[in-house]
């Protein structure tokens, strides 16, 4: 089903994740659809899941993958269909209330004071971490996580966890960016707003007769099993962007708080030498060489059609990527799309590259 007549006028939910393709996913999809008619797409660097959602809304089979576990949980909440699994307003309120005869730890209160959230908010997060484990419905639990993740990001300057900057949020100064009103809304208020968004999304899926055609996995880009690869006909990648003067690009470090939040052994994973208590970056999360990353992807998935979303300022260059692809694929097509990133006044360009096996 082409989206031109079906979902082009539908408002997609906000994702607030760095590099989200919400603004241009329709252009990416339409360009792809001009040349190939995929049936099953592997979204290899799934991230915010907005691309997987768009493919799902077009009734394609989709396998979402991301190396970050929190992203997979977030995607699970984002990509489900059953409105009955969405937490009620009462459940959202109650998730922050202490229950009798339950022991609550104070890990976030004790370790993250004055880093990301206020003392009161840290207390609430400790309670949430305990209470969510008591939710038995798997989908409801994931949707609850999704609602909180969106709230946590919304209350952060730059929507990131890349530095200790609670003071930026709390300072009573004239601001040239950001939204203090949004930062100071409670977790509950944010979650209730996102709940309405997700209800509209699920109702939209019902209207479009979308089936639950999603498989969600949590692996490194180069560790996808052959059984999964055998099921797909198209690979979509929106990989981390590298700059020429940087050794690596660590998307992981911008969202470490969310990855730690879902971990039972958070304390053992923290890099205590960092003043914002980021997680130690596991070796498997480090992509040290962008050239090798593309070489590995082409080698592993080269018998499937490939769609690449990339940026003109990233390294390696578009020309270098084209050269690599032309050695393996029969046809390579490039399209440039003007794009403005959030909090940036500069116009950039995204590039969509199709590498076709036929």
Running along the chain, 358 residues long, what does each successive block of 10 average in pLDDT?
A: 55 84 93 95 96 94 96 93 96 98 97 98 98 97 97 94 92 68 95 96 91 91 96 95 67 92 97 95 79 94 96 90 97 90 65 96
Q: Terminal CA-to-CA distance of the chain, rounded, Å? A: 22
How far apart (Å, rounded) are the C-alpha atoms in residues 171 and 178? 12
CA–CA separation, 148 vs 155, rounded Å? 11
Residue 339, pLDDT score: 75
| CA separation for the pair 43, 221 (Å, rounded) | 10
Using omega within 30 degrees of 0 as the cis cutoff, is the peptide bond preceding 316 cis? yes
Q: Which two tokens stand for residue 40?
A: 């099953």
| Vertex 263: Cα angle to 283 and 251 (nearest 5) | 45
Domains of the chain with bracketed CATH: 1-81+210-249+287-358 (3.40.50.150), 82-208 (no CATH)
CB count in 10 Å sphere of residue 292: 11
DSSP, collapsed to helix, strand or coil, labels residue 127 as helix
Position 178 scores a pLDDT of 56
Q: Are strands 61-65 and 347-356 parallel, antiparallel or unpaired?
A: unpaired
Q: Which of 85, 228, 204 is nearest to 147 (CA)?
A: 85
Question: Can you give the pLDDT at residue 348?
Answer: 72
Q: Which two tokens stand for residue 103?
A: 């022991």
Q: Report pLDDT for 3.
A: 45
The tokens describing 218, both together, are: 């949590």
Burial class (CB in 10 A: 0-12, 13-18, 19+), 62: buried
- Give the pLDDT confidence score for residue 5 in this predicted structure: 46
* Host H or E run for residue 35: helix 25-35
Question: Cα separations (Å) of 141 from 50, 87, 88, 274, 283?
Answer: 20, 8, 12, 31, 29
């Amino acid at each position: 089903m082409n989206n031109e007549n079906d979902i082009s006028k539908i408002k997609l939910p906000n994702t607030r994740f760095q590099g989200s393709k919400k603004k241009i996913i329709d252009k990416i999809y339409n360009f792809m659809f001009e040349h190939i008619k995929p049936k099953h797409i592997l979204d290899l660097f799934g991230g915010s899941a907005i691309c997987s959602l768009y493919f799902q809304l077009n009734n394609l089979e989709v396998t979402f993958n991301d190396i970050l576990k929190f992203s997979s949980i977030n995607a699970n909440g984002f990509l489900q269909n059953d409105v009955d699994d969405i937490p009620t307003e009462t459940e959202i309120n109650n998730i922050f209330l202490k229950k009798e005869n339950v022991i609550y730890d104070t890990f976030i209160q004790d370790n993250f004071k004055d880093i990301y959230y206020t003392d009161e908010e840290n207390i609430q997060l400790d309670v949430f971490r305990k209470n969510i484990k008591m939710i038995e419905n798997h989908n409801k639990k994931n949707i609850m996580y999704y609602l909180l993740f969106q709230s946590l990001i919304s209350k952060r300057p730059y929507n990131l966890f890349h530095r200790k900057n609670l003071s930026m949020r709390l300072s009573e100064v004239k601001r040239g960016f950001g939204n203090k009103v949004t930062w100071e809304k409670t977790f509950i208020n944010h979650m209730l707003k996102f709940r309405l968004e997700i209800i509209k999304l699920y109702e939209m899926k019902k209207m479009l007769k979308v089936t639950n055609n999603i498989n969600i996995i949590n692996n490194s880009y180069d560790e996808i099993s052959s059984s999964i690869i055998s099921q797909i006909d198209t690979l979509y990648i929106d990989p981390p962007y590298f700059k020429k003067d940087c050794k690596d690009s660590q998307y992981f470090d911008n969202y470490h708080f969310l990855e730690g939040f879902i971990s039972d052994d958070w304390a053992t994973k923290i890099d205590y030498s960092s003043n914002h208590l980021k997680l130690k970056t596991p070796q498997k999360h480090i992509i040290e060489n962008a050239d090798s990353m593309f070489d590995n992807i082409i080698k592993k998935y080269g018998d499937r059609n490939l769609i690449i979303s990339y940026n003109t300022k990233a390294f390696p260059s578009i020309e270098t990527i084209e050269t690599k692809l032309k050695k393996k694929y029969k046809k390579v097509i490039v399209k440039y799309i003007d794009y403005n990133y959030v909090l940036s006044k500069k116009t950039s360009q995204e590039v969509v590259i199709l590498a076709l096996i036929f």
